[in-house]
C-alpha cells in the first residue's frame, strides 16, 4: 500500500512539475517582437499658383487656376524587440512622399549608353534606431537614433493624433518634423509626471532659410551627421488632471561651424566669435473627454548672431549642386495654434470604436522675424491659416479625413485656399 501511495504521489508531483514547466515555457516563449507602423495618402486641390514668383510678383498670379496633387506624406514601418533583463530596441523606417525610385536604362539615341533615371522624388530615412536599458519606470537610458520630442507635433506625430490631412502648418514650418537625431536620452515617469532629457548633435546654420527658419538644420547632405557642436533638449509632461495633458519642451545649441564647410578666416574675421545659438521653447495642452478634443500649442525660437549668419549663408561660394540654400534667416520665429473637435456620435452612447469628429483649426506662424536693423523683411512669411473639416474613425486605427483650408497672407499677396481628402492608419500588427 505504501509503495502504491508513494507511486501515486510521485506521479502527481511529476504531473504538476511538467504543468509548471509548460506554463513557464509559455511565458518565456511569448513573442517579444513588435511590428507596427503608420501611413497616409492625401489628395489636395490647391486653388492658387505654386509658381516660385507668386510672392515677388503676386499680381501676375491673382487669377491662377491652381493645381491638384496626390501624395503619400509618410509610410512607416516600426520594428521593436525586448531582449529581456531591461534591454530592448526600437527602429522606424520611413518612406516620405512615396520614397525615391531610380531606374537603369539603355539610351537608344546616344549610342546605347547606360543612364540612370530618377523616376520618383521622395525620401527613405531611418527615423529611429535605438537600444534602451530600463532600470525601472522612473529611469531609462535610450541610445541611438531618436525622435526629438520638442513641440507638440514631434511628440505626437502619428496621423491619428491630429485632425488635419497634413501635419499642422505652424510647427511643421519652423522646426524639423519629425525631428530625429542620433544621441542619448534619459527618460522616465514619476507619478503623474514624465521627463526626457537628451544630448544630440546641434543644428547646422548653413541650412537655415527664410521660409522654414531652422527646420532644415537637422538635414545632412553627407553620409554622416556632422557633430562639431552638441546640443541639449528637454521635455516635461504632466497628467495630473483627468483627460488633460500639459507639456513643455525646449532646445539649446550652437549652430555655426557645425558643418564640414566652416569658417576658416583669421582671428580678425567678423565671424570669429559667431556661435549661432538657437534657443527654442514650446508649451502645449491636449484635452480629451465627453466627445470633445481641444488642443493648443505655442512655439517661440531665437537665433543669436542672425545677421552675421545671414551674411555668411548668402556669401557662400559653393557650386550650384551644393545643398545650402544661401538664404537670409530671421532672428526669431513663432508659431501658435489650436484645434477643437467634437464627436457627433458621442451623444448616441456609441460603444464601438466609430467616431465622427467635426473640427476647426487655427494656425499663425512667421518663419522670418528679422533683427531691427536687417535690410530685408519678407512680408509673405507672416501667415494665418483657418481649417474646417471632418475625421471619421471606422475603427480606432483608421481615419478618413476631409478639410477645407485657407492661408491668409498680407494684403499685397494672394490668399491660398485648398481642399484635401486623406486616409491614414496607425497601429501595431504584432505586439
Q: Where are the domains of the chain?
A: 126-430
> What percentage of the chain reaches a pLDDT higher than 90?
68
Q: What is the pLDDT of residues 219-256, one digit of tens each?
A: 887 888 899 999 999 999 999 999 999 999 999 999 99
- Topology (CATH) of 126-430: Porin (2.40.160)
pLDDT above 50 for 21: no
Enumerate long-range contacts of 230-233, CB under 8 Å, 24 or more apart: 230/199, 230/200, 230/201, 230/202, 231/199, 231/200, 231/201, 231/202, 231/203, 231/278, 232/197, 232/198, 232/199, 232/200, 233/148, 233/149, 233/150, 233/196, 233/197, 233/198, 233/200
* Cα separations in angstroms, 387 against 31, 61, 164, 168, 422: 43, 23, 8, 10, 14
State how far the alpha carbon of 31 is from the alpha carbons of 219, 355, 371, 421, 430, in Å.
36, 32, 57, 37, 9
Nearest to 364 by CA among 429, 409, 325, 402: 409
Q: Please check the confidence at residue 22 and state whether its pLDDT lies above 80.
A: no
What pLDDT score does 411 carry?
A: 92
Q: Is 90 exceeded by the pLDDT of residue 158?
A: yes
- Tell me the pLDDT band of 307, cut-offs 50, 70 and 90: very high
Q: Are 258 and 205 in contact (CB under 8 A)?
A: yes
What pLDDT sits at residue 320? 58
What gap in Å lies between CA 21 and CA 13, rounded to an integer?
12
Residue 10 has pLDDT above 70, yes or no: no
- Given a cut of 70, whether residue 301 has pLDDT beyond it is yes
* pTM listed for this prediction: 0.87
Across 258-263, average pLDDT: 81
Q: Please, is 168 exposed, middle or buried when counting C-beta atoms within 10 Å of its C-beta (0-12, 13-18, 19+)? A: buried
Amino acid at each position: 500500500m505504501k509503495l502504491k501511495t508513494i507511486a501515486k504521489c510521485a506521479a502527481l508531483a511529476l504531473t504538476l512539475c511538467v504543468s509548471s514547466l509548460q506554463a513557464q515555457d509559455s511565458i518565456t516563449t511569448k513573442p517579444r517582437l513588435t511590428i507596427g507602423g503608420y501611413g497616409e495618402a492625401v489628395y489636395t486641390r490647391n486653388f492658387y499658383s505654386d509658381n516660385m514668383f507668386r510672392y515677388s510678383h503676386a499680381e501676375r498670379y491673382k487669377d491662377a487656376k491652381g493645381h491638384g496633387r496626390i501624395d503619400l506624406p509618410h509610410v512607416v514601418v516600426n520594428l521593436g524587440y525586448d531582449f529581456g533583463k531591461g534591454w530592448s530596441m526600437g527602429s522606424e523606417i520611413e518612406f516620405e512622399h512615396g520614397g525615391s525610385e531610380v531606374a537603369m536604362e539603355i539610351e537608344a539615341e546616344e549610342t546605347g549608353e547606360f543612364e540612370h533615371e530618377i523616376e520618383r522624388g521622395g525620401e527613405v530615412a531611418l527615423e529611429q534606431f535605438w537600444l534602451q536599458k530600463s532600470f525601472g519606470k522612473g529611469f531609462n537610458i535610450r541610445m541611438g537614433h531618436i525622435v526629438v520630442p520638442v513641440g507638440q507635433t514631434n511628440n505626437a506625430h502619428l496621423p491619428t493624433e491630429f485632425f488635419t490631412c497634413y501635419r499642422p502648418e505652424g510647427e511643421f514650418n519652423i522646426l524639423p518634423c519629425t525631428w530625429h537625431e542620433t544621441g542619448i536620452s534619459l527618460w522616465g515617469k514619476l507619478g503623474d509626471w514624465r521627463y526626457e532629457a537628451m544630448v544630440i548633435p546641434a543644428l547646422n546654420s548653413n541650412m537655415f532659410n527664410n521660409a522654414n527658419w531652422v527646420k532644415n538644420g537637422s538635414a545632412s547632405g553627407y553620409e554622416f551627421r556632422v557633430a562639431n557642436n552638441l546640443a541639449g533638449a528637454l521635455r516635461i509632461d504632466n497628467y495630473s488632471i483627468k483627460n488633460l495633458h500639459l507639456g513643455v519642451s525646449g532646445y539649446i545649441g550652437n549652430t555655426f561651424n557645425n558643418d564640414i564647410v566652416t569658417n576658416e578666416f583669421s582671428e580678425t574675421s567678423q565671424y570669429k566669435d559667431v556661435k549661432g545659438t538657437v534657443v527654442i521653447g514650446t508649451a502645449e495642452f491636449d484635452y480629451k473627454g465627453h466627445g470633445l478634443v481641444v488642443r493648443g500649442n505655442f512655439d517661440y525660437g531665437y537665433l543669436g548672431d542672425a545677421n552675421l549668419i545671414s551674411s555668411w549663408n548668402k556669401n557662400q561660394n559653393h557650386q550650384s549642386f551644393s545643398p545650402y540654400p544661401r538664404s537670409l534667416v530671421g532672428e526669431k520665429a513663432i508659431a501658435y495654434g489650436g484645434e477643437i473637435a467634437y464627436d457627433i456620435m458621442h451623444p448616441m452612447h456609441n460603444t464601438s470604436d466609430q467616431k465622427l469628429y467635426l473640427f476647426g483649426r487655427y494656425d499663425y506662424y512667421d518663419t522670418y522675424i528679422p533683427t531691427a536693423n536687417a535690410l530685408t523683411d519678407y512680408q509673405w512669411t507672416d501667415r494665418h491659416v483657418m481649417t474646417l473639416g471632418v475625421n471619421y474613425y471606422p475603427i480606432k486605427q483608421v481615419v478618413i479625413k476631409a478639410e477645407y483650408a485657407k492661408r491668409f497672407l498680407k494684403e499685397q499677396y494672394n490668399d491660398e485656399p485648398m481642399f484635401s481628402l486623406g486616409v491614414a492608419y496607425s497601429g501595431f500588427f504584432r505586439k
